[in-house]
Structures are given as C-alpha cells and as structure tokens.
Amino acid sequence: MNFIPDITIIGGCGHVGLPLSVMFASRGRKVCAFDINKNVLDLVNEGNIPFVDEDLDKYLKGAIDKGCFLASDDPGFITKSNVIIIIIGTPVDEHLNPKVYELKNVIEKYLNYFKDGQLIVLRSTLYPGTSKIINDFFKTNNLNIDIAFCPERIAQGFSVRELVELPQIISAFTSSGMERTRQLFSVLTDDIVVLDPIEAELAKLFTNTWRYINFAIANQFYMVANDLGLDFYKIHNAMTYNYPRTKGFPTAGFAAGPCLFKDTMQLASFYKNNFFLGHSAMLVNEGLPNYIVDRLKLKHDLSGTVIGILGMTFKADNDDIRESLSFKLKKLLELEAKNVYCSDFHLSSDNYLSEEALIDKCDIIILATPHKRYRSLDYKGKKVYDMWNILNCGGVI
C-alpha cells in the first residue's frame, strides 16, 4: 500500500484514538489509525463512527476524501511513521492496583517495528512514573527515540470541539522531544502547557480525581438531604443562584465511566493507600446504587414490584456503557424486586425494552442516565424516581 503516514496512532479506532486521528488528518496530516479490532476497521474506513461523538463523522469523511486517513491492522505502518501516538491506558485490577505492565506489553509486542529517530507520544492516563519506565525501556533496547507524555483531556462525545479549544499539556524527556511534541500539537492549538513527565502524569490524575471527589460531595449532600426528607435540588439551587463561589458545584447522580474511578484508585495506590479523601469518594459514589435501593425498600414492598431502569450508559446522550453504575443498580434490584427491565435508546439489545414498553410494564421507573429525551416522555402516571432532577420535580427518593 502506498499510504505513507506522518502519524500512526496505536489504538487509533477507540474513543480517544479515533477523534485524535481524525482531527490530525483534518488538519492535513496523513494518519494511520492502527487498531487490532477488525470489527471497526471497515466501518471506519467507510466513514462511519462506531460510537457517539458530536460531528466526528463529518470530519472523518472529509479526511478520507482528502486521502489523509486510513484505519489498518498492519503494524508495518508503525515503521513508516516518524510520529507514533500510543493510546493504551492503565486499568486497575480486582484489588484496585494499577496494571502498569499492559502498556509495556503492547510496546514489547511491536518493538521490532519501532526505529531510531521516532517521536513516541504516550497519550492515555498513566500511573506516575510509567513514561520514565517506557523511556528507559527503549534505551535498554538501544533505540534512540524521543518519548513524550501528553495526556488526553477531552470530554467524551465532544472531542472535535475540545481537541482544538482546550490547551494541550505536553512533556518529554529531552529538549528535542519537547520541541517536536510542541510542533505536533500546535497543529491542533497554539495553547500549549509544558510540564515535566511526572508533573504531566499527576496533572491528569489530579484532574480526574478532583472531578470524582466533587461528584462525591454532591452525592453525599444528596443523601443527607434525602434522609431528612428534603429536596437536595431546592437547596442546590439556593446555593448556586447568583453565587459565584458555588458556580462549579455539581448536581447528584451516578459518577461512573472508564476514567474517574480508575484514576482515583491509581492515585491512591501511588500515594501508598494514604489517599483517604479518594477512598471516601469511591465509597460514596460506588455506594449510590445501594443507597437508592435501600430508600426504595423503605417506601415499597419490592418483592411484588416491577421496576424499570431508564438509561444504561454511563453518561447522558452517549452510547458508552463502560463502568456504568446502571448495571450495578440492576444487579441490586434483581435481588429485591419481582422483575427488573431496562431501556436505553442508544443501545441495541434483545434484553432491552423500548421506552414505551418499559413504562407500560413497570410499577416504578428509575431515571439512571439523564438522556435529554427522557424529559419529554409520557410516564402515564407511574412513580418515577429521578435523582438527576431532569424532570424538574425534585430528586427525593
């Protein structure tokens, strides 16, 4: 194949890799989105996005038409590129410890395809110190490669806008690597923030953990108010109305997804499990489904009740179910209720009902994900519990 990419992105068809691939390609760089998921390669090369992301499909089709984008599972494109961006994150195991070796395993798998003179950018969230491990690994294998860490910071679903509007944090181990990295991301924005690699790794973890703790504060306040029979949202509105010091105070709801919980636990592990604030946030956020079920049990005999869960994705108006707490709620309710049904218009499954069928079948409906369309449904007088208050009827359970 004659396609010679300027940039190859390993993990290039995922939620992080594909938007980055497309936006570089839309700016005239030739990009190979390297991915081993064969199910999405043809889909993407035909101009289709395998997940919900605002306007990304239009940019993808434009990049394909210009001959600047190709999705492939051929690792030979790694060798052909001067810039490699690796989108391999650091998950946590069942003991909440980071699995640092997964990134290193991928690099070892493709080690023979890397070459002297390349710039390798690590993009996903990393356990602090991982980028140094990778830098030392290439030195040990006698490869003269610039290693950079530039954390991804987009809100899922809004990548097109945020990749060019938000500042890019960059870091590298050499002055040449830093300058090459600056030139690379200046294709997207002139707003560049420079850090050392360990600072950049912590900046990403601090950001996600800060958000996770803020959600936990809101959820804890919600439980306090709810236990007193008070509407948290009435209090929240009073706190935030024309009062700048509470402007960023979030509302209550499931704090889930593939990043916030995981990154908080990574930071806790890095700080030798002395991060009590992070562990407390985890107990609050992960405990919210249990709290909802316990409150329902106080008000209803669940053993004779059919319950419906509206919304199974981890965030509103998105199709991503990773680490969604709706599934935890479902499992808990299945231990208590007569029947539990689920619905989410973003997901195609024989196990899910349409919204109308779920409303007809169920005695109680829980709004687990605040999709906008749920605001206008006809609930036919059924009891609806709305911890997000998207129906503007208060969030009391």
Answer yes or no: do 262 and 336 share one domain: yes
Q: Is residue 240 part of a domain?
A: yes
- Residue 312 lies inside a defined structural domain of this protein: yes
Is 392 inside a domain boundary? no
Please report whether residue 397 resides in a domain. no
Is the Cβ–Cβ distance between 353 and 361 less than 8 Å?
A: yes
Residues 49, 21, single domain; the answer is yes
Where in the sequence is the domain holding 304, given as residue range(s)? Answer: 203-385
Nearest to residue 22, comparing CAs of 352, 51, 176, 276?
A: 51
CB atoms within 10 A of CB 221: 18
CB 163 within 8 A of CB 19: yes
250-275 residue pLDDT tens: 999 999 998 999 999 999 999 999 99
- The predicted pLDDT at position 370 comes to 98
Task: Based on the fold, state whether residues 56 and 157 are members of the same structural domain.
Answer: yes
Tell me, yes or no, whether 228 lies in a domain: yes
* Domain stop point among 137, 170, 195: 195
Supply the pLDDT for residue 95: 78
155 and 216 share a domain? no
* Tens-place pLDDT, residues 292-328: 999 999 999 999 999 999 999 999 999 999 999 999 9
Q: Has residue 129 been placed in a domain?
A: yes
d(CA 342, CA 352): 5
Mean pLDDT (the chain) is 96
Q: Which two tokens stand for residue 210?
A: 């800060």
Single out the residue in 156, 171, 195 at which a domain terminates: 195
Average pLDDT over residues 14-22: 96
Q: What pLDDT, on a 0 to 100 scale, did the predictor assign at position 2?
A: 87
36 and 19 within one domain = yes
Report residue 326 CA to chain centroid gap. 16
H or E, element range at 202: helix 197-227
pLDDT tens string 339-394: 999 999 999 888 899 999 999 999 999 999 999 999 999 999 999 999 999 999 99
Percent above pLDDT 90 for the chain: 93
Instruction: Tell me: do 125 and 182 sit in the same domain.
Output: yes
* Exposure on the CB side of residue 146, measured as CA atoms within 13 A: 23
pLDDT at 24 over 80: yes
Q: How far is CA 188 from the centre of its chain?
A: 21
The pLDDT of residue 1: 61
Does the pLDDT of residue 83 top 80, yes or no? yes
The alpha-carbon radius of gyration of the chain (Å, integer) is 23
Backbone phi, psi, residue 313, to 5°: -80, 165
166 lies in the same domain as 283: no
Q: Do 127 and 98 reside in the same domain of the chain?
A: yes
Q: What is the pLDDT of residue 101?
A: 83
Distance CA 126, CA 95 (A): 18
Residue 74 lies in a domain: yes
Alpha carbon separation from 176 to 148, 195, 330 (Å, rounded): 10, 14, 52
Domain count, the chain: 2
Question: 14 to each of 40, 51, 77, 87, 162, how far by Cα in Å?
Answer: 9, 9, 18, 8, 17
Strands (E) in 242-388, as ranges, are 306-310, 339-343, 364-367, 383-385
Among residues 161, 195, 229, the one where a domain terminates is: 195
CA distance 55 to 163: 13
The predicted structure's pLDDT at residue 97: 83
Q: Is the pLDDT of residue 94 over 90?
A: no
Same domain, 274 and 319: yes
Residue 100 or residue 61, greater confidence: 61
Confidence of residue 98 (pLDDT cuts 50, 70, 90): confident
Q: State whether 28 and 170 are in the same domain.
A: yes
- Residue 390: inside a domain, yes or no? no
Identity of the residue numbered 157: G
Q: How far is CA 20 from the centre of its chain?
A: 14
Q: Domain containing 174 — which CATH number?
A: 3.40.50.720
Helix (H, G, I), strand (E, B) or coil at 248: coil
Query: How many other CB atoms are found less than 10 A from the CB of residue 158?
Result: 16
Asked if 180 and 85 touch (Cβ cutoff 8 Å), the reply is no
On whether the CB atoms of residues 205 and 236 are closer than 8 A, the answer is no
Q: SS3 breakdown of the chain: % helix, strand, coil, rounded to 5?
A: 45, 15, 45
Q: For 211-220, how does the pLDDT look when each residue is reduced to its tens digit (9 = 90+)?
A: 999 999 999 9
Q: Which amino acid is at 324?
A: S
30 and 58 share a domain? yes
Q: What is the pLDDT of residues 140-174, one digit of tens each?
A: 999 999 999 999 999 888 999 999 999 999 999 99
Instruction: Judge if 178 and 217 occupy the same domain.
Output: no
pLDDT band at residue 91 using 50, 70 and 90 as cut-offs: confident
